[in-house]
Structure 1
Amino acid sequence: MSSYARADENLGTFSLRLLSLEADVELLHSWVTHPKAAYWMMLDSSVDDVATEYRRIADDPHHDAFLGFRDGTPAFLAERYDPRFVELPGLFDAADGDVGMHFLCAPASQPLHGFTLGVITTVMAWLFDDPAVRRVVVEPDVGNTAVHALNAAVGFEVVREIQKPEKKALLSTCTREQFLTRIGAAA
């Protein structure tokens, strides 16, 4: 059962549901250990390592993981977190209404034009579907130029570079208004 769904006229229906560690860990492992997921920093992880990490997320009251689907087929991972407690404490003065986000598209044998933009648009629309969310915060690796371009495409603005324990990151934010202006109110 999905917790959110969005129709894309060119790509089909995207939906999300809470990650089920028992049902999804093998699939998730295949995604996070794929070379295209290098910035996820889990390339050498075992299934048990992935299970441990996502169990930690499931047990954290400030962090959630969701499996995303395209037309009913698993296609992406999304994480939602409270930046006051996860990823950014001491690095960013989070405000009420801020939510952090990560997303990962499944490796594809046949790339689908516009798919990744469809995924990030869906994830952002899902986050902003909660009226309490005023701004989305991200902290991708400074070297991940593909994600920087996608972030800009949906309205993110760079705040500054930050040094996290595991990486140098490009802290960026996107308000609801910036998102709607960039993608249009039809999202």
Structure 2
Amino acid sequence: MTAPHEQHVDGFGTVRIRPLDPASDADVVHAWVSEERAVFWGMNGLTRTQVAEIYAHMAGLDTHHAHLVTKDGVPAALFQTYEPAADRVGECYDVLPGDLGVHVLLAPPGPDGPRPGWSSALLTVLTTYALRVQGRRRLVADPDVRNTRAIARFERQGFVRGPQVVLPEVDLPDVYLPEKHAQLAFLERTAL
């Protein structure tokens, strides 16, 4: 399990990335993944217990990690990292040494509505953490091809579109993932 990472961003606040606690963070994560805006996360309709079980399973893996990201102590994002060679995405592109897969689910806007520059500042911390602190050479994201907002957000962050691929269905005793049409996007460490 990775140690917490903390970074202060002038004009934004303090961002902390820590391992997700499947039990104590379940309420927050379940609320986020249950929203219609999170339909591409694939957990709409799951109970709090089911979400906690999924993240408890992930916590037992050496290749996939879930992190809760806070800004000034308030939950701000769910950040998942994974080894592409140990994931279905690894069947869809040539994995290079130093690659790290990422999934990001931002918290919903607060009562004051959207915050200009907020997602950019937060994603800058996340990509810096994954590339520099984790010592990776390249990040790969695989949003659903229909999730045009996420694709555009990754591109604004400096990711470069790769091919569209079909991630195969996974049907194991502990994990089920339906087939997914994804848009790969890559961010090289040299881009930061």
Give the alignment's TM-score, normalised by structure 1.
0.89
3-state SS of the aligned residue for 2:86?
coil
Equivalence map 1:11-26=2 (5 Å): 11-26=12-27
Decide whether aligned partners of structure 1 residues 24 and 4 sit closer, same or farther in structure 2, where only a CA change above 3 A counts.
same
Query: Quick check: 1:84–1:93 contact (8 Å CA) kept in 2?
Result: no
The Cα shift of 1:87 comes to 3.5
3-state SS of the aligned residue for 1:84?
helix
The Cα shift of 1:107 comes to 1.4
Q: Deviations over 1:89-114 (max 9, x none)?
A: 31122111000001111112322112
Task: Identify the residue that residue 43 of structure 2 maps to in structure 1.
Answer: 42
Q: What percent identity do the matched residue pairs reach?
A: 30
Looking at structure 1, the residues matched to 76 and 65 of structure 2 have their Cα atoms a distance apart, in angstroms, of 17
List runs of 5+ in structure 1 lacking aligned partners: 181-187
Looking at structure 2, the residues matched to 105 and 172 of structure 1 have their Cα atoms a distance apart, in angstroms, of 18
Query: How big is the alpha-carbon RMSD for the aligned residues of Structure 1 and Structure 2?
Result: 1.4
Query: Quick check: 2:132–2:189 contact (8 Å CA) kept in 1?
Result: no
List runs of 5+ in structure 2 lacking aligned partners: 170-178
Total equivalences in the alignment: 178
3-state SS of the aligned residue for 1:37?
helix
3-state SS of the aligned residue for 1:137?
strand
The Cα shift of 1:147 comes to 1.3
Equivalence map 1:96-115=2 (5 Å): 96-108=97-109, 109=111, 110-115=113-118
Q: Deviations over 1:128-179 (max 9, x none)?
A: 123630000110011111111221122211110001233210011110012x
Equivalence map 1:1-187=2 (5 Å): 3-108=4-109, 109=111, 110-130=113-133, 132-164=135-167, 165=169, 166-178=179-191, 180=192
Query: Quick check: 2:100–2:136 contact (8 Å CA) kept in 1?
Result: yes
3-state SS of the aligned residue for 2:91?
coil
3-state SS of the aligned residue for 2:23?
helix
